[in-house]
Structure 1
Amino acid sequence: MAKRPPNDQGEVTTPTDFPAVVPRDLHPTTDIRFVIHELGKLTSQVVRLIEDVDSHGKKIGEVKDAINFVKGALWVLGAVVVVGGSILSLILSGKISVTFH
């Protein structure tokens, strides 16, 4: 506790009562500016997260398109091999004759 200045006899005494003032705010989290600042940071992080998810979705879409292209090419290649093999087997079996002039 704070001591009072010396009285008339030069004695220093300790006060017996506490000061009647409003205590200062010890917790800055109660300040609305702090809350608004934290909400702003959270909002920017959520926006960044949404952008990241969108970019990953686009990348996954590109991979899906590439896979579908390869699957289509394999189906076409398979059909060409089957048709070519069938024609070749007919030629080799003698059911179709091919003459070159």
Structure 2
Amino acid sequence: MGSPDNPIRLDLNNLVFQEHLFGLQKPERNAAMDTLRKIRQLSWGQLYRDNGLKWEKIVSVKPPQGIDAIYSLRITQSRRCTAYRDGDFMRFLTVAPDHDSTYGRK
């Protein structure tokens, strides 16, 4: 695991994440891009302390093999996305259609 002082590197290559991101309406897609731009400028320690992004471990969903934990974070005012940390990379998985589905409830 990388240091909390290391800058976050984004991995947006997951096809499901891309479909969800590109499927957003333009205002929400722009807000998501602003959030991604912000995350890129943070260190991991700053991310953990950021009250706006709300990086939270999802305990209700078992992570896939090889992944320690899945986290959710706010990507727009009304949507959260899922991601996991892999060294200095934040690897994005999904953009949830609503808040509850992020946590496996619905």
Name the TM tier (shorter chain): under 0.3
Larger radius of gyration: 1
Q: Looking at secondary structure, tell me which structure has more helix per residue.
A: 1
Structure with the bigger percentage of strand: 2
Higher relative contact order (CA 8 A, sep 6+): 2
